[in-house]
Amino acid sequence: MDFSESQKVTTIRGVVREFMAAEVVPLEPTLRHDGFVALLPRLHEVRERARQTGLFAAHIPEAYGGAGLTLLEFASMSEELGRSPLGHYVFNVQAPDVGNMEVLIEHGTPEQKSRYLEPLVRGEIRSCFTMTEPEFAGSNPVWLGTTARKDSGDWVIRGHKWFASSAEGATLAVCMAVTNPDAADPYHRASMILVPTDTPGFELIGNISVMGERGGDWASHGEVSYQDARVPLANLLGAEGEGFVIAQERLGPGRIHHCMRWIGVCERALDILCRHAATRELAPGHPLGEKQLVQAWIAESRAEIDAARLLVLHAAWKIVTAGARAAREEVSLIKFTVARTLQRVLDRAIQGLGGLGMTDDTPLAYWYAHERAARIYDGADEVHVESVARRILRGYGMRTR
């Protein structure tokens, strides 16, 4: 494989890094002390300036108004944006919108693209994805209680969802609901349906308190109720009964985005640790970095970050060259490997900074609270570990479920 970075990617990294340092990082103290909602007026202004870089909605093809970056090119951009909690939002490449846009491109009708995709790409509206349910194990994505039945040209949706990230303020919800309960294959029982959030019967019950914070607007996780919410049959996204298949298509590239964002978090955390180790004196003339244990933390973090990045780029390369289905094992590998790397790097950085690491004077404590979920969402680590092991063991003739 060619590990060189193209001139285009190098230029993108430079543009994004300069913009982030000048426009985004200075907003972080307000985020940590006052929350996301307090920043919205300033974020709207910064988003307009981000648009001028030509990298707004960078993952979207130019034909739909984006910058047209390839998966590998956007992976590098995502790493740079990940160095700040606000980076992806400012450039309109934040989850869950990033995945919903991609699904609309692949499976949306012309009318759906006109009504929802185009304003999403322009950053005029936001969306959420409602799949996880409190009553059913999130590790079993085909076990859903939410149903959608046909009635007089409409879908009538009834169910209960939670962890609908960014539901507050969203214009559109993508709902996973069982439409074909009698299908022999459980993976073909659910469909994706587009539900405008002003639909009667759609209710945002409230934001879930996560790690002591309810958040607000985009930075939130909502609990949603569908009480006979009625939308036209034309709001079906893709083919009926193909909701799980589409979700898997969505999650493959989505995990590349997430993992590269996590690597950006790791890079910023390591940078904070190194700066502190080089300047913090334990005694006159004796910086913290003299301690061999601290040196080990730095070296181990550097090695783990670099290894994780190569693993993610290889997975992205496999998706591009062989398709998402062929890269299922690689995608599972990066999901649990990078999530665990993230936790270790953050923990070392906080330990190295001591009391300072626990404060909100750096982004470390914010990430420590908000990114613990990395080992849970998009498939818990344990699910991916088992999935990889089963595929390996099949090669040895072992029969697995």
Asked, colleague to colleague, whether 127-237 and 244-394 share their fold, the answer is no
Predicted local confidence at residue 191, as pLDDT: 97
Domain 244-394 annotated CATH 3.40.50.300 = no
Least Cα distance to 175 among 202, 151, 154 occurs for: 202
Q: 216-233, pLDDT tens digit by residue?
A: 999 999 999 999 999 999
Given a contact cutoff of 8 angstroms between Cβ atoms, the answer to whether 344 and 372 are in contact is no
Could you tell me the sign of the dihedral formed by the alpha carbons of 6, 7, 8, 12, in that order? positive
Instruction: Answer yes or no: is pLDDT of 121 > 80.
Output: yes
Rounded distance between C-alpha atoms, residue 141 and residue 137, angstroms: 8
Predicted local confidence at residue 19, as pLDDT: 98
Hunting for tokens 């595929």 — which residue is that? 391
Peptide bond into 96 cis (omega under 30): yes
Given a contact cutoff of 8 angstroms between Cβ atoms, the answer to whether 225 and 134 are in contact is no
Rounded distance between C-alpha atoms, residue 223 and residue 29, angstroms: 28
Q: 68-101, pLDDT tens digit by residue?
A: 999 999 999 999 999 999 999 999 999 999 999 9
Q: 176-194, pLDDT tens digit by residue?
A: 999 999 999 999 999 999 9
Residue 95 CA, distance from chain mean position:
5
The neighbour count for residue 295, using CB atoms within 10 Å, is 13
Helix, strand or coil, per DSSP, at residue 393: helix
Instruction: Answer yes or no: is pLDDT of 290 > 90.
Output: yes
Predicted local confidence at residue 137, as pLDDT: 86
Given a contact cutoff of 8 angstroms between Cβ atoms, the answer to whether 177 and 191 are in contact is yes
Contacts of residue 17, defined as CB under 8 A and 6 or more positions apart, other chains included, come to 80, 83
Q: What are the extents of the domains in the chain?
A: 7-94, 127-237, 244-394
Rounded distance between C-alpha atoms, residue 367 and residue 17, angstroms: 19
User: Which range among 103-107, 243-247, 259-263, 304-308 shows the weakest confidence by mean pLDDT?
Assistant: 243-247
Contacts of residue 376, defined as CB under 8 A and 6 or more positions apart, other chains included, come to 138
The neighbour count for residue 287, using CB atoms within 10 Å, is 15
Predicted local confidence at residue 355, as pLDDT: 97
Letter for the amino acid at 93? Answer: V
Contacts of residue 48, defined as CB under 8 A and 6 or more positions apart, other chains included, come to none
Beta pairing partners, 196: 172
Q: 5-61, pLDDT tens digit by residue?
A: 899 999 999 999 999 999 999 999 999 999 999 999 999 999 999 999 999 999 999
Given a contact cutoff of 8 angstroms between Cβ atoms, the answer to whether 380 and 362 are in contact is no
Rounded distance between C-alpha atoms, residue 24 and residue 35, angstroms: 15
Helix, strand or coil, per DSSP, at residue 340: helix
Beta pairing partners, 237: 192
Hunting for tokens 């998009």 — which residue is that? 378
Instruction: Answer yes or no: is pLDDT of 379 > 90.
Output: no
Which stretch, 101-110, 138-147, 250-259, has highest mean pLDDT?
101-110
Q: 270-284, pLDDT tens digit by residue?
A: 999 999 999 999 999
Cα radius of gyration (the chain): 22
Rounded distance between C-alpha atoms, residue 61 and residue 69, angstroms: 7
What's the CATH class of domain 127-237?
Answer: mainly beta
Helix, strand or coil, per DSSP, at residue 42: helix
Instruction: Answer yes or no: is pLDDT of 1 > 70.
Output: no
Residue 365 CA, distance from chain mean position:
19
Instruction: Answer yes or no: is pLDDT of 120 > 80.
Output: yes
Mean local confidence (pLDDT), 140-144: 86
DSSP at 24: I
Instruction: Answer yes or no: is pLDDT of 401 > 70.
Output: no
DSSP 82-140: TTSTTHHHHTT--TTHHHHHHHHHHH--HHHIIIIIHHHHHTS--EEEE---TTS-TT-
What architecture is domain 7-94? Orthogonal Bundle (1.10)
